[in-house]
A and B are shown apart, each in its own frame.
Chain A
């Protein structure tokens, strides 16, 4: 079945450091890929997405490229801020007979310190 694997956290960085959160997936066909962010005490918010191979999703300085050859969708940001502290979830969606369901990774907690 479909699965998403994320690097374990927590990831602790200093402000302005470079961020990479690895995400790889297993799925048949051509899934859409997503990164969601969950701030403390809140629900998930879509951060960015990519729907086909080589697409780059970007938002708020974050970006991720859909790499079909390596089945990866790594999240990157050049300079993190304290306000980026949150849990980040990688997810995929694939059309099935039952509709488009999201399969989530386990989440990676990011802590950014001054």
Chain B
């Protein structure tokens, strides 16, 4: 099946610093990638939809200047949490959708971010 990786798998940073998370589709090209945030014991909340070569589309309530998304190639999307604060601590999950899969997404293993 399609494989999506994320790096790093976990990161601890100090408040006020920025953190970049990478999402890669390893064996397929993904024109669309999605970024989710998952709070403990809760569901996934879609943060933004990332389309290769264009600006990301953010969901209502998500600060685009705080969560910078770049989708520069068909296999890589990055999420940068700028000026991170403890409330940004969460599990961030990306997914990727191959061009032919109109309604299926393949998920990465997630990145655990802890902001001290």
Asked if A and B bind, the verdict is: yes
Residues of A within 8 A of B (CB): 32, 34, 36, 42-46, 49, 51, 89, 93, 95, 98-102, 104-107, 109
A43 touches B104 (CB 8 A): no
A107 touches B104 (CB 8 A): no
User: Whose C-beta in chain A lies nearest to the C-beta of B10?
Assistant: A41
**Does B79 belong to the interface (CB within 8 Å)?**
no
Residues of B within 8 A of A (CB): 4, 6, 32, 34, 41-44, 46, 49, 57, 93, 95, 97, 102-110
A43 touches B57 (CB 8 A): no
| Best-buried of A44, A101, A104 by chain B (most CB within 10 Å) | A44
B107 touches A44 (CB 8 A): yes
Choose one: B6, B43, B106; the contact of A89 (CB below 8 Å): B43
CA distance A109 to B102 in the complex (A): 28
User: Whose C-beta in chain A lies nearest to the C-beta of B1?
Assistant: A46
Closest Cβ of chain B: how far from A3's Cβ, in Å? 11
Other CB < 8 Å A-B pairs besides A43-B93, A43-B107, 12 of them? Answer: A42-B109, A43-B108, A43-B109, A43-B110, A44-B44, A89-B43, A89-B44, A93-B104, A98-B49, A99-B32, A101-B34, A102-B95
A104 touches B49 (CB 8 A): no
CA distance A107 to B19 in the complex (A): 28
A32 touches B42 (CB 8 A): no
B46 touches A101 (CB 8 A): yes
User: Whose C-beta in chain B lies nearest to the C-beta of A98?
Assistant: B57
| CB neighbours of A45 from chain B (8 A) | 107
